[in-house]
Amino acid sequence: MNVFVYGYYGFGNVGDELLLRRVIEYFKVRTPDVNFVVRCHDESQAGFESDPVKFVNIDASLTQPNTPKVVGFIKYVSEAAKYMKQSQVFVFGGGTLFQSSGRIPYTLILMTVLCVLARFYKVPVYALGVGVGPLKDGFSQRLFKLILRLVSDFAVRDLTSMANAKAASDSDKLRLTSDLVFGAGIKEQGFKSVSISGAPHIAITIAASDSKLTEQNLKTLSEQLTRLVEELKEMKPESKITCLMFQDFETATGVRLSDKNMMKKLVSEEALSSVEFCQVPNTIEGALDLVSSFDVVLGMRFHGLVLAAMAQVPFIGVSRDHKVTDLCAKFGFPSWNITHQPETTLFELIECAGNTPVDTDMLETCRQQSDANFDEIGKYFQNREMK
């Protein structure tokens, strides 16, 4: 069985790699002869050497210098068609893939092309725990409606994504689930409380890929993070601070998306001396083991907070991203929208969150909803076995 997988892979983002692992593990359990073709920016993607995966950069022809855009697009369609006609299933493997971007929604156009190819080759399409951003213009909305007509199922990860999707279409294929990673397993551990007299180990996550932050947003974030480190050092001198690195990637234009570099720019040199850095493993087990060693997780990375919930570690969102604020609201933890002035300090948020246990009933709900991403594919397997 051949599965064609599309997502934000190959950009050095551990969160996206965890999503891919969840997709791979689902299919491997159900069909031992499965092979994957994965749309990936970096064909040398590390960490999946033992899996039956071929990484392909089908987008490469679109950015070739001195190549007319029409020629690049034809090559893209030809390359995609080659893999699609060899596949039995095509899946969108999580992430906020569906959104308007710029004056022309290129990504939506390309995903629509893939869905049309899938229909032509009679390959069923499943969207698994995806995010949907604002679809601001009529053209983007029409493309999204066409995609919904072409897919077999469209499982949406969070409430805001569902609202964005419903604003563009009332398709009965839209289903609310939760993030794919939640279903990968739950690390059982007791609740850790944090008190003013304790010495907490705080994990901070930074999202270098958030390109929509203004200079004022970054200035405010810098002030708050520096203040947090200074207050922890003063009031809890035995506390530890670790910056968890989810991404380190250099774009084709030479822009480096590095969580570590961004943290160094945001926090003063003096405060930075109190911060350690740690790379997050791109395996579920390794990432959970790491996150479970902290008392509180604070930050911008959505999957950093998902992992914290799974490890039953209190967390705080620091982001303008709706999926982060939605997740914090779901579990009853605070979040600070960094496009607004803070109403309290990050230190105070840590003390508040640290004394709040992770809601295990909600955690179980998220796990079940995560598994539900595969409900319709499960029916596909049942029908396949009956033939």
Contacts 24+ apart (CB under 8 A), 161-169: 161/96, 161/130, 161/131, 161/132, 161/133, 161/322, 161/323, 162/132, 164/99, 164/132, 164/133, 164/134, 164/135, 165/98, 165/132, 167/135, 168/135, 168/140, 168/141, 168/144, 169/141, 169/144, 169/145
In whole angstroms, what is the distance from residue 245 CA to residue 277 CA? 7
Residue 375 has pLDDT above 90, yes or no: yes
**pLDDT for 332:** 96
Domains by residue range for the chain, with CATH: 2-184+366-386 (3.40.50.11930), 201-357 (3.40.50.2000)
pLDDT of residue 44: 80
pLDDT at 243 over 90: yes
- C-beta separation of 127 from 92 below 8 A: yes
Q: Which helix (H) or strand (E) holds 378?
A: helix 375-386
* pLDDT in the model for residue 289: 95
Q: Using one digit for the tens of pLDDT, what is the confidence trace for 319-359?
A: 989 999 999 999 999 999 999 988 899 999 999 898 889 99
Across the range 211-233, mean pLDDT stands at 91
pLDDT at 195 over 70: no
pLDDT of residue 46: 84
Residue 189 confidence (pLDDT): 57
State residue 241's pLDDT score: 96
Give yes or no for residue 194 having a pLDDT over 70: no
- pLDDT score of 257: 87
Give the pLDDT of residue 66. 85
- 3-class DSSP state of 176: strand
pLDDT in tens, 17-59: 999 999 999 999 988 899 999 999 888 888 899 999 999 999 9
pLDDT in the model for residue 277: 97
In order of 153, 269, 276, 341, the CA distances from 264 in angstroms are 43, 8, 11, 22
| Diameter of the chain measured on Cα atoms | 68
Could you report the per-residue pLDDT of 108-143, keeping only the tens digit for each?
999 999 999 999 999 999 999 999 999 989 999 999
Q: What residue type is 306 in one-letter code?
A: V
Q: What is the pTM for the complete model shown? A: 0.94
Average pLDDT over the chain, rounded to an integer: 92
Closest to 256 measured CA to CA, from 205, 222, 215, 209: 209
Within 8 A by CB and 6+ apart from 359, the residues are 331, 332
Task: Evaluate if residue 210 carries a pLDDT over 90.
Answer: no
Q: Is the pLDDT of residue 372 over 90?
A: yes
Cα(360)–Cα(236) distance, integer angstroms:
29
pLDDT at 383: 82
pLDDT for res 205: 98
CA-to-CA distance for 11 and 4, rounded, in angstroms?
A: 18
pLDDT tens digits, one per residue of 249-294: 877 667 788 999 999 999 988 889 999 999 999 999 999 999 999 9
pLDDT class for 318, splitting at 50, 70, 90?
very high
pLDDT over 70 at 387, yes or no? no
pLDDT at 129: 97
Long-range pairs, 338-341, Cβ under 8 A, ≥24: 338/213, 338/217, 338/220, 338/221, 338/300, 339/213, 339/214, 339/217, 341/220
Torsion of CA 123, 126, 130, 133, to 10 degrees: 60
pLDDT at 209: 84
pLDDT tens digits for range 57-104: 999 999 888 889 999 999 999 999 999 999 999 999 999 999 987 788
- Quick: pLDDT tens for 248-261: 887 766 778 899 99
Angle at 10 between CA 15 and CA 181, to 5 degrees: 25
- DSSP assignment of 225-279 equals HHHHHHHHHHH-TT-EEEEEE-BEEE-TTS-EEEHHHHHHHHS-HHHHTTEEEEE
Cβ partners under 8 Å of residue 378, min gap 6:
none
pLDDT band at 186 (very low <50, low <70, confident <90, very high): low
Q: Which residue has the higher pLDDT, 352 or 196?
A: 352
Q: Which of 13-27, 96-110, 179-193, 371-385 has the lowest mean pLDDT?
A: 179-193
Q: If you average pLDDT over residues 360-383, what whole number do you get? A: 94
